[in-house]
């Protein structure tokens, strides 16, 4: 055991030689944090140096030896006298639990250190650092007095946090106050206790014996101290106790009072398997001198112990409770992580009262603390404590919502920091609080404000602000806050166990006066949580889209991402809407912006996983229909909402499993479908290359139609962004090799690690090695390069420049952006894609990645250089079609049914993906040749035509009878993989929501009609006639099928028969309608 002692700086003048000698005699004590003192003490201890010392006789060695011996004797006696005084005082003044719970070796170290401090006439202020044999560290903080807030100040001094690469979790605390209030002595243990194979029936025999007495009723109603004994509970059965104790550390079991252990076990069970918090308060029956002592027990699932301790202590301090004793322990919760058990003995100070109302409020705010953002904590704990947690959370949420809206007007004046600072200034905070009260009144489940009442109160507030607020920026922001209240349609603010604050917004609130008109989404959900803000944007009532996590590396980048977060979410959702044209779900996207700047890898991952949980659970708050939500969520949407999520950037399989499990717990109708790509019951996009299969179909059709290259017979060159270890890029490399072999020459590829280039084509064997071993491009072996080839890595500046410019510099027939950030090629830099003579570095772009090229850049590249671009909403749509099939499978099949038939189902899905991609690709280039215009514009025309028909049909189907809808149901069946349909379509009405079935019928008919007849056919129809024509089209198709079957039976020359069949197939239905 190594023990280090830290003293406050600036005390060297008060330290004398006996102090140093005592520390030398103690167990490896060393003084730190005071260089001046270290220099002085070295002169005392180092008697082996030949350097002359002023107190030594220069000639007589005997005199030196006698002098030294005398000094040692005197100082030893002095230390002994000091210890003789300290020990009785220490034994009498430290509370009894200290002697029960702290090992003797630690108690001796504490006495030695305190003796040294007292002997040196110093303040009782020191830090001890002990290294245990198993690698754990124990910090002992000793401070004078026991004033309120002392513990909080100590916690802020603790050196370990999640930003350090050497981070060790806080695993135990023990907090004690001297009974004469002369000092506080607190122990903080870092690192996990080594688990030994021990018999918990022996270690915890005292607990098992007590629990048995509880269960058999042999205990009196109260114990000897007047505390009520526990009521018999199945949780306390012997087998349950043993299983629980096997999760606990040995030290926790040994030093736990049985009654306390059972109480904490009950709290543990309440939060086990979740991310919740449970709180219990109890009067302390053991204190004879003060009847205002209370025990607060808290169980926090999956939290950073250090953070839990700091925030709980801070909240207690805010409510005028002083912490007298505290214990913290971590107990394993299996796959769910750990549960932190915190027990605090508190007493009210400064006139506070420990009544029921206070503790109810305290419990409510303790539960919220785990999920509060730092800006909220600072606002309600430091700047304006009178606001309270709930109002403070709404203010910081509204500030976050306003940032992407207002920054378009003035990015500097309306930065995120400036917005919050402005509305929380002393001059304006009362107005912000009044607006928040309006919000709370509007959504108070006990009596929500009507639209008329809301409008009247809003006008009153606007009048007050207009008269009282002279600052234009403040007035603008406060007015916008009122607009947010009026545009909020649902919120979970009154849900007691919510993870974050969620607002279902009318999307019109997100529009800014300073931006061009654009299509308004169907719905927007905003979520404000601890270290994150998230948006979910969708363009149809039933919608599906990925959830991506954005984690900027610097504060500057975070500020930039915050300003653009909603726009990115909107753009991705709109792109998804365009590509979702072939499926029942509309387009949506979720973008979660997370602040984990400067954290260790462990800390970053922890925050990301917590953000996913809080974000998705808050969405569930706003869309599930349960007794809890009906009671606590006021609804101004007026209809049930259905949405589905999928994984995107930085979402892990563990996240997916948690989200699906949570959706089931929360009562979502089809929990298995709530998030696609479940590891066992999903279709892994990377494993099966579903997105790339579609991308390559468009590439193939484009090469043939644009460059007149038959890739099966002729050589062509290609460049790619996105690494061989990526989903789209890696699978595209495999498909290129599979379909075209050496005809496909990859002349450049770039990813986050660097780029590789070879004008003669990078070696296929090496590229495929990287793909199969899941390695990035910087691992490409230079020995495999041809003449003129190079590998550039980003560990040098030249490599970064080469990587960042590869997609512009390298000459190729086609460019596939299969990775990279949105807007990489934009209106400001699109000319870099062109050669000095104005020709493009690649005449064809097939967008495997979303939004790699902006709309403006696409159009300018086409107009100025003739670049043909297959837009992302067409090129990479097969990924979303696959996810839609996963949703269908999750609703229609059990996990076992899917898994047993997975190979066949996936094979059928891949065939359907090729078919959908081929149909659209052929339509695009057919209309491109016929009507001209840029291909991206045509791609949008196709999507708009299909979506317009789908929306019109969906509305029309609402008025259909069940019998009429049933006639159209075969459209949905044909859309599904055959195996899935054969297994479960007879139960479709039992397993699939009616709203989803209607959307499926509408989208299947709409895409079928557009791909066959073309966009002009749909776009020339009056909107009010679109649905009726589409339904007549189904009947006409049915008639054509009957005619074709009859013709097949007719005896006539085969050549004539074949010609007639082709005419019927090509235009029979349209002709039958009489629409041309």
| pLDDT tens profile 355-411 | 888 888 888 888 888 889 989 989 988 899 899 889 999 999 999 999 999 999 999
Does the pLDDT at position 50 exceed 50? no
Position 1045 scores a pLDDT of 66
Position 1063 scores a pLDDT of 61
Helix/strand/coil for 29: coil
Position 8 scores a pLDDT of 43
Helix/strand/coil for 684: coil
CA 131-137-140 angle, 5° bins: 100
Helix/strand/coil for 500: coil
pLDDT (average), residues 103-116: 87
Position 706 scores a pLDDT of 94
User: Contact, 580 vs 544, CB < 8 A?
Assistant: yes
Position 799 scores a pLDDT of 94
Listed ranges 453-462, 596-605, 638-647; the one with the highest mean pLDDT: 453-462
Helix/strand/coil for 138: strand
User: Contact, 869 vs 858, CB < 8 A?
Assistant: yes
CA distance 571 to 347: 54
State how far the alpha carbon of 102 is from the alpha carbons of 140, 206, 254, 468, 932, in Å.
Answer: 11, 19, 11, 60, 83
Length of the chain: 1076
For residue 779, what pLDDT band results from cuts at 50, 70 and 90?
Answer: very high
**E strand or H helix at 463, and its extent?**
helix 451-468
Strands 321-332 vs 294-301: parallel, antiparallel or unpaired: unpaired
More confident residue, 8 or 571: 571
For residue 157, what pLDDT band results from cuts at 50, 70 and 90?
Answer: confident
Q: What is the dihedral of CA 861, 864, 866, 869, to 10 degrees?
A: 10
Does the pLDDT at position 985 exceed 80? yes
Does the pLDDT at position 733 exceed 70? yes
Read off the tokens for 286.
Answer: 């053991």
First to last CA, the chain: 91
Does the pLDDT at position 729 exceed 60? yes
For residue 25, what pLDDT band results from cuts at 50, 70 and 90?
Answer: very low
- Per DSSP, 383 falls in state I
pLDDT (average), residues 903-911: 96
Does the pLDDT at position 29 exceed 90? no
User: Contact, 9 vs 36, CB < 8 A?
Assistant: no
Owner of token pair 């029936």: 201
Exposure string (b/e) for 755-785, b if CB count within 10 Å is 16 or more?
bbbbbebbbbebbebbbeeebbbbbbeeebb
Cβ count within 10 A of residue 622: 24
CA distance 665 to 359: 29
Position 461 scores a pLDDT of 97
More confident residue, 515 or 995: 995
Longest dimension (CA), the chain: 136
Strands 488-491 vs 501-505: parallel, antiparallel or unpaired: antiparallel
Position 74 scores a pLDDT of 65
For residue 1075, what pLDDT band results from cuts at 50, 70 and 90?
Answer: low
Does the pLDDT at position 288 exceed 70? no
User: Contact, 607 vs 462, CB < 8 A?
Assistant: no
Span 1017-1072, pLDDT tens digits: 888 888 777 777 777 777 766 666 665 566 666 777 776 767 666 665 666 556 65
3-state secondary structure 74-124: HHHHHHHHHHHHHHHHHHHHCCHHHHHHCCHHHHHHHHHHHHHHHHCCCCC
Span 456-487, pLDDT tens digits: 999 999 999 999 999 999 999 999 999 999 99
CA distance 497 to 629: 11
Helix/strand/coil for 951: helix
Exposure string (b/e) for 679-710, b if CB count within 10 Å is 16 or more?
eebbbbbbebbbbbbbbbbbbbbbbebbbebe
- Per DSSP, 510 falls in state G
Q: What is the mean pLDDT of the chain?
A: 87
Task: Give the whole-number percent of the chain exceeding pLDDT 90.
Answer: 57
pLDDT (average), residues 126-137: 86
Position 853 scores a pLDDT of 94
Position 15 scores a pLDDT of 34
**E strand or H helix at 950, and its extent?**
helix 935-957
Position 1041 scores a pLDDT of 61
Position 78 scores a pLDDT of 67
For residue 19, what pLDDT band results from cuts at 50, 70 and 90?
Answer: very low
More confident residue, 75 or 266: 266
Exposure string (b/e) for 68-102, b if CB count within 10 Å is 16 or more?
eeeeeeebeebbeebbeebeeebeeebbebbeebb
Owner of token pair 């959307």: 999
User: Contact, 878 vs 690, CB < 8 A?
Assistant: yes
pLDDT (average), residues 731-753: 96
Position 465 scores a pLDDT of 96
For residue 158, what pLDDT band results from cuts at 50, 70 and 90?
Answer: confident
**E strand or H helix at 491, and its extent?**
strand 488-491
Does the pLDDT at position 334 exceed 80? yes
DSSP secondary structure, 752-783, as one string? TTEEEE-TT---HHHHHHHHHTT--GGGS-GG
Strands 868-870 vs 844-846: parallel, antiparallel or unpaired: parallel
For residue 153, what pLDDT band results from cuts at 50, 70 and 90?
Answer: confident
Position 115 scores a pLDDT of 86
pLDDT (average), residues 123-143: 87
Read off the tokens for 18.
Answer: 């006996």
pLDDT (average), residues 43-69: 53
Span 783-828, pLDDT tens digits: 999 999 999 999 999 999 999 999 999 999 999 999 888 889 999 9
Position 960 scores a pLDDT of 84
Backbone angles phi, psi at 854, to 5 degrees: -75, 160
User: Contact, 124 vs 144, CB < 8 A?
Assistant: yes
Owner of token pair 């006996």: 18
Does the pLDDT at position 859 exceed 60? yes
From the list 277, 933, 1060, the residue with the least C-alpha distance to 610 is 277
Helix/strand/coil for 1009: helix
Position 160 scores a pLDDT of 61
CA 705-707-710 angle, 5° bins: 75
């Amino acid at each position: 055991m190594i023990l280090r002692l830290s003293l406050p700086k600036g005390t060297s003048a008060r330290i004398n030689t006996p102090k140093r000698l005592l520390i030398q005699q103690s167990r490896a004590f060393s003084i730190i944090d005071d260089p001046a003192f270290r220099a002085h003490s070295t002169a005392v201890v180092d008697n082996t140096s030949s350097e002359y010392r002023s107190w030594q006789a220069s000639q007589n060695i005997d005199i030196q030896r006698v002098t030294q011996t005398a000094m040692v004797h005197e100082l030893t006696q002095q230390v002994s006298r000091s210890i003789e005084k300290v020990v009785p005082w220490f034994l009498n003044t430290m509370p009894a639990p200290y002697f029960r719970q702290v090992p003797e070796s630690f108690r001796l170290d504490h006495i030695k250190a305190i003796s040294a401090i007292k002997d040196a006439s110093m303040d009782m202020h020191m830090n001890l650092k002990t290294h245990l044999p198993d690698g754990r560290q124990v910090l002992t903080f000793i401070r004078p007095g026991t004033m309120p807030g002392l513990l909080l100040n100590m916690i802020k001094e603790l050196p370990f946090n999640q930003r350090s690469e050497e981070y060790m979790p806080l695993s135990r605390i023990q907090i004690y106050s001297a009974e004469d209030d002369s000092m506080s002595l607190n122990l903080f243990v870092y690192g996990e206790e080594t688990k030994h194979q021990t018999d918990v029936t022996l270690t915890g025999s005292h607990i098992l014996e007590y629990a048995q007495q509880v269960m058999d009723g042999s205990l009196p109603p109260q114990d000897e101290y007047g505390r009520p004994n526990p009521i018999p509970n199945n949780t306390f059965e012997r087998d349950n106790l043993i299983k629980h104790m096997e999760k606990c550390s040995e030290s926790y079991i040994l030093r736990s009072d049985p009654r306390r252990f059972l109480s904490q076990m009950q709290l543990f069970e309440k939060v086990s398997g979740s991310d919740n918090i449970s709180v219990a308060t109890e009067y302390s029956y053991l204190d004879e001198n003060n009847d205002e002592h209370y025990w607060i027990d808290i169980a926090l699932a999956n939290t950073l112990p250090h953070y839990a301790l700091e925030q709980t202590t801070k909240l207690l301090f805010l409510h005028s409770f002083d912490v007298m004793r505290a214990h913290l322990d971590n107990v394993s919760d299996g796959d769910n992580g750990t549960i932190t058990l915190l027990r605090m003995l508190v007493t009210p100070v400064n006139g506070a009262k420990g009544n029921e109302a206070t503790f109810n409020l305290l419990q409510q705010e303790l539960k919220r603390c785990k999920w509060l953002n730092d800006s909220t904590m600072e606002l309600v704990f430091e700047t304006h404590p009178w606001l309270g947690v709930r109002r403070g959370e709404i203010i910081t949420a509204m500030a976050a919502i306003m940032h992407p809206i207002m920054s378009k007007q003035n990015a500097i004046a309306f930065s995120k920091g400036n917005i919050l600072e402005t509305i929380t200034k002393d001059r304006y905070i009362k107005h912000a609080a009044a607006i928040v009260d309006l919000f709370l009144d509007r959504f108070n489940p006990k009596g929500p404000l009507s639209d008329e009442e809301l409008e009247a109160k809003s006008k009153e507030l606007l009048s007050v602000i207009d008269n009282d607020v002279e600052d234009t920026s403040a007035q603008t922001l406060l007015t916008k806050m009122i607009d947010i209240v009026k545009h909020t349609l649902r919120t979970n603010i009154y849900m007691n166990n919510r993870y974050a604050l969620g607002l279902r917004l009318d999307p019109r609130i997100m529009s800014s006066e300073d931006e061009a008109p654009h299509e308004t989404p169907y719905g927007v959900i905003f979520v404000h949580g601890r270290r994150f803000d998230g948006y979910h944007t969708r363009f149809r009532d039933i919608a599906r889209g990925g959830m991506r996590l954005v984690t900027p590396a610097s504060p500057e980048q975070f500020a930039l991402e915050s300003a653009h977060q909603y726009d990115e979410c909107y753009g991705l959702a709109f792109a998804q809407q365009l590509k979702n044209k072939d499926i029942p779900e509309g387009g949506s996207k979720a973008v979660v912006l997370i602040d984990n700047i400067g954290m260790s890898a462990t800390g970053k991952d922890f925050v990301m996983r917590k953000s996913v949980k809080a974000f998705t659970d808050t969405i569930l708050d706003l869309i599930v229909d349960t007794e809890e939500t009906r009671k606590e969520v006021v609804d101004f949407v007026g209809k049930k909402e259905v949405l589905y999520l999928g994984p995107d950037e930085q979402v892990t399989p563990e996240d997916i499993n948690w989200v699906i499990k949570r959706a089931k717990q929360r009562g979502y109708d089809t929990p298995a479908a709530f998030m696609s790509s479940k590891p066992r019951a999903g279709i892994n996009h990377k494993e099966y290359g579903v997105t790339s299969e579609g991308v390559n179909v468009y590439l193939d059709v484009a090469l043939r139609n644009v460059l007149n290259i038959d890739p099966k017979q002729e050589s062509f060159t290609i460049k790619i962004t996105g690494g061989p270890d990526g989903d789209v890029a890696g699978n595209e490399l495999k498909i290129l090799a599979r379909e075209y072999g050496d005809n496909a020459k990859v002349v450049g590829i770039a990813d986050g690690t660097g780029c590789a280039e070879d004008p003669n084509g990078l070696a296929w064997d090496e590229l495929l090695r990287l793909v199969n071993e899941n390695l990035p491009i910087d691992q490409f072996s230079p020995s495999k390069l041809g003449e003129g080839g190079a590998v550039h890595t980003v560990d040098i500046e030249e490599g970064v420049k080469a990587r960042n410019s590869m997609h512009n510099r390298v000459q190729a027939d086609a460019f596939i952006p299969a990775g990279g950030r949105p807007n990489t090629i934009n209106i400001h830099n699109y000319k870099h894609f062109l050669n000095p003579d104005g020709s493009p570095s690649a005449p064809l772009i097939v967008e495997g990645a979303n939004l790699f090229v902006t709309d403006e850049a696409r159009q300018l590249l086409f107009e100025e250089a003739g670049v043909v671009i297959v837009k992302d909403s067409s090129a990479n749509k097969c990924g979303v079609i696959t996810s839609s099939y996963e949703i269908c499978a999750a609703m229609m099949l059990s996990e076992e049914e899917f898994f047993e038939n997975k190979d066949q189902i996936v094979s059928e899905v891949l065939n359907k993906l090729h078919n959908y991609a081929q149909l659209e690709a052929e339509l695009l280039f057919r209309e491109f040749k016929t009507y001209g215009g840029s291909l991206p514009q045509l791609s949008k025309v196709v999507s708009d035509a299909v979506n317009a028909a789908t929306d019109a049909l969906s509305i029309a189907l609402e008025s259909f009878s069940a019998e009429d809808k049933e006639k159209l149901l075969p459209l949905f069946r044909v859309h599904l993989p055959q195996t899935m349909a054969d297994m479960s379509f007879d139960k479709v009405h039992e397993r699939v929501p009616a709203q989803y079935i209607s959307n499926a019928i509408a989208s299947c008919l709409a895409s079928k009609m557009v791909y066959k007849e073309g966009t002009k056919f749909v776009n020339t129809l009056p909107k009010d006639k679109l649905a009726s024509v589409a339904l007549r089209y189904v009947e006409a198709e049915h008639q054509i099928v009957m005619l074709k079957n009859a013709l097949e039976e007719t005896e006539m020359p085969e050549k004539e028969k074949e010609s007639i069949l082709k005419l019927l197939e090509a235009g029979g239905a349209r002709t039958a309608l009489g629409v041309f």
